[in-house]
Amino acid sequence: MDIKHGFVDAVGNTPLIRLNSFSEETGCEILGKAEFLNPGGSVKDRAALYIIQEAEKAGTLQPGGTVVEGTAGNTGIGLAHICNAKGYKCLIIIPDTQSQEKIDLLRTLGAEVRTVPAVPYRDANNYVKLSGRLASEMENAIWANQFDNLANRRAHYETTGREIWEQTDGKIDAWVAATGTGGTYAGVAMFLKDQNPQVRCLVADPMGSGLYSYVKTGTITLEGSSITEGIGNSRITANMEGAPIDDAIQIDDPTAIKVVYQLLQKDGLFMGGSVGINVGAAVALAKQMGPGHTIVTVLCDGGSRYQSRLYNPQWLAEKGLA
Ligand code: PMP
């Protein structure tokens, strides 16, 4: 018998999928870790689970307690599922720029959701800072603090990174992924480098994010913008501190959109926007490295979360991206 004991036990151990059309085009093996197949539908189920489990072990989260988080959506969705499965309450602070699908889903899952204006991190009312303040004012509540809580990258070091290493039999030349908190990128990069320092680790970055300029020049500069959600940052989070970074690749929205539509039409994969950045970067890297290499990236979530935007021709046309 092979039975998963509830939601929590079903997190992780996702397939590694060869992206056939991109592999054939580049002569490289371009592989996507299928995180959209987690039970909560995204890569963030892993971080959410580790954050809650570590708080339980530390005794900071007691029965009937509340998990509070500022999130672009997927971490909140993962937390809300796990809170239901474990009997906790969940309070989510989300910027009002995020897709309605994610906000509606959070409410359906039973989380209390507060949408707030999207303001920069330096502002005291930034959604992340606000969530921390609210948690500190509540009884029996924890702040998940996904950006700076290292339980996040530990989840990816101990599970995602190890799984990728085992699924490829260690035959992997490069790892490339965009970062939101950086937990996925950093945890996997650290695990892979510990197994083989020759594995190249690259940050993929959308326009409007500061990681690309940080890697290339040492200073964070923000230029342009992106319709992708859940990725890009204007600071180095605790989860990114000390993570190995060999290089960075910047991918613009037109490229990312072409990639997600090719994934849909040629590979049968219905993916979210950050996957366009990730696979776009994997393809760019394949062209840099030349044929014969194995490049792994992450398929963070599915396209249904972005039906009204990325998969809505009218919305794309309004953004000049038709
Ligand atoms: N893609 C999507 C759709 C996400 O929601 C997130 C998390 N915000 C990421 C990528 C990046 O993951 P991480 O926080 O581990 O860097």
Of the chain, the percentage scoring pLDDT greater than 70 comes to 100
Confidence of residue 133 (pLDDT cuts 50, 70, 90): very high
Whose Cα sits closest to atom 4 in ligand 1?
Answer: 230
pLDDT at 322: 87
- State the average pLDDT for the chain: 97
Whose Cα sits closest to atom 6 in ligand 1?
Answer: 230
Whose Cα sits closest to atom 7 in ligand 1?
Answer: 230
Residues 304 and 311: their CA atoms lie apart, in Å, by 9
pLDDT at 284: 98
Whose Cα sits closest to atom 5 in ligand 1?
Answer: 230
What's the rounded mean pLDDT across residues 157-185?
98
β-partners of residue 296 are: 31, 175
What's the rounded mean pLDDT across residues 72-92?
96
Q: By C-alpha distance, which of 298, 224, 284, 195 is closest to 248? A: 284
Q: Which of 42, 44, 69 to mutate to test the pocket of ligand 1 (most atoms within 8 A of CB)?
A: 44
Residue list, ligand 1 pocket, CB within 6 Å:
42-44, 72, 74, 178-185, 229-231, 272, 274, 300-301
Spacing, Cα 122 to ligand 1 middle (Å)? 21
What's the rounded mean pLDDT across residues 36-56?
98
Query: Do 162 and 188 touch, CB atoms closer than 8 A?
Result: no
Of the chain, the percentage scoring pLDDT greater than 90 comes to 96
Residues 92 and 103: their CA atoms lie apart, in Å, by 10
pTM higher than 0.95: yes
What's the rounded mean pLDDT across residues 78-88?
98
* Residue range 228-256, pLDDT digits in tens: 999 999 999 999 999 999 999 999 999 99
What's the rounded mean pLDDT across residues 62-82?
95
Q: Which atom of ligand 1 is nearest to the CA of 47?
A: 15
Q: Which of 37, 74, 179 to mutate to test the pocket of ligand 1 (most atoms within 8 A of CB)?
A: 74
What's the rounded mean pLDDT across residues 264-274?
98
Domains of the chain and CATH, by start: 6-36+157-317 (3.40.50.1100), 41-141 (3.40.50.1100)
**What are the Cα distances from residue 124, in Å, to 129, 234, 237?**
6, 15, 17
* Residue range 28-43, pLDDT digits in tens: 999 999 999 999 999 9
Q: By C-alpha distance, which of 66, 120, 111 is closest to 93? A: 111
Would you please indicate which residues are annotated as catalytic (active-site) residues? 44
